[in-house]
Homo-oligomer: A and B are copies of this chain.
């Protein structure tokens, strides 16, 4: 038994016809144009799929999976394919058939009392935000920086994170519906019990908690999920810090980690460096640097001044009833006093926006206008409102940007690879990670764009990215070597990515260690033919070996 690469295989027409019989020709695309479109990547390599299917119901997914099993065709499910920098819409390997869930995008249930929605995988951040607003739900969601077109379920299953009290997305999902490789449909948690009353409010159910199997894996196709929402808080206050010195990072992390650990700050806390913030507003200053890379220190300092950005920049928020927000704010202020934190309440944001209107009318104070713009975008993000603000950071190093207002980095040929190790919420580890990253980025002519996010009470995720120009083959080559070098050095010191695309995964997991052997045994038990996304978050070689042994 081997995994079949359908593109290199005879009988392509038979395969196309079999899938067409399920979803119709309009929703089964095997043409060159469609395949090319899904092959596009912000990463190092494009991955050509065999075709794309657009299922609309769980039953269709069941039938597709069964046909795939019969014909030995590998499927790769995507929610919306906006997983930029982590593999985009690309299949894990060449020749897989993509299951694009964009047409399976119903919001199946909104529960106002217990504050959750049940959604299909094609539902986007923007769609849910609009739905909640239109329904006057009084509920808030959490959003990532990937903009309104990005999916909710895809991000949850990849265990991504956002900016609010519900920032750790995996924590906020409940009650998965999953199609397995044999076509059976399971419900995690209590969902298996007929008529269960707690299926969407209590995640674990009875017996083994199996949800985790379907995150960062290829064990099944998730076709429905519950997502928790927050009641709109009575009061909201954004917290910003702009730290002037690099050495401020240590006391900042110490202080913020302590506030998180004590449960005083409950939301995700983001600490971005200067270039992370600036890249969201501007492209690399090619002219000013005389086309030299990486960015020289003096110009970097000038950019900071021009954009009103610190060496380190903190954004988080406080939510709750007025008196509690006031108390938390007071305490946070006391702890952060050396860094002169700025607190922006709903009321002050109204004033700021009014001021900005006047300035705009008068055509003055452009820089102040820009600062208000940035604060306003961040303010929304901290409230879980999906924004397009962070997307342009993806083409920081693209030389000729085709569309500065694009919502898709692919439209600007952005080269983007996220490197995102997890580390303890400890300043010494943050400094060590920087000491690994920066010299390597510099060596290959790239800039260090980095955020440390205090995502739990004990852990930080460092999100950094190789930003390169995909139209420049030399840039691509340097990105490739930089990528390998970064991963090697980080792993050597025990800083493992919390998430990665297939191209990165190959560098991270090589040995058939006991954990990955266990994962492979589960894969073998659930999907012996390797129908679902072979290569995604599971050592591919290991699986092949298992299969060969299994076939003996």
Contact = CB atoms under 8 A, between A and B. Distances in A.
Interface string A195-221: 111100111111111111111110100
A430 B360 CA distance: 57
Contacts of A496: 190, 193, 196, 198, 205-206
A261 interface: yes
A192 interface: yes
A266 B457 CA distance: 14
B115 A186 contact: no
A280 interface: no
A519 B323 CA distance: 48
Contact of A202 (B212, B262, B422): B422
Nearest to A328: B324
What band does the interface of chain A fall in when counting residues whose beta carbon is under 8 Å from B? 35 or more
A170 B204 CA distance: 9
Counting every copy of the chain, the complex holds 2
Interface stretch (A123-131, A410-418, A507-515): A507-515
Contacts of A489: none
A285 interface: no
A301 B518 CA distance: 57
A201 B458 contact: yes
B209 A422 contact: no
Interface string A500-524: 1000000011000111111101101
Query: Quick one: which of A198, A522, A524 has the most chain B CB within 10 A?
Result: A198
A341 interface: no
A231 to B, nearest CB: 6
B219 A208 contact: yes
A36 interface: no
A526 B514 CA distance: 12
22 contacts: A114-B425, A170-B204, A186-B514, A188-B515, A196-B494, A196-B496, A197-B429, A197-B493, A198-B495, A201-B456, A201-B458, A202-B456, A205-B496, A207-B509, A207-B515, A208-B216, A210-B519, A228-B458, A231-B261, A263-B320, A321-B327, A324-B327
Interface of A: 113-116, 159, 165, 170, 180, 184-188, 190-198, 201-217, 219, 228, 230-231, 233, 258, 261-264, 266, 319-321, 323-324, 326-328, 330-331, 421-426, 429, 456-459, 491, 493-500, 508-509, 513-519, 521-522, 524-526, 537-538
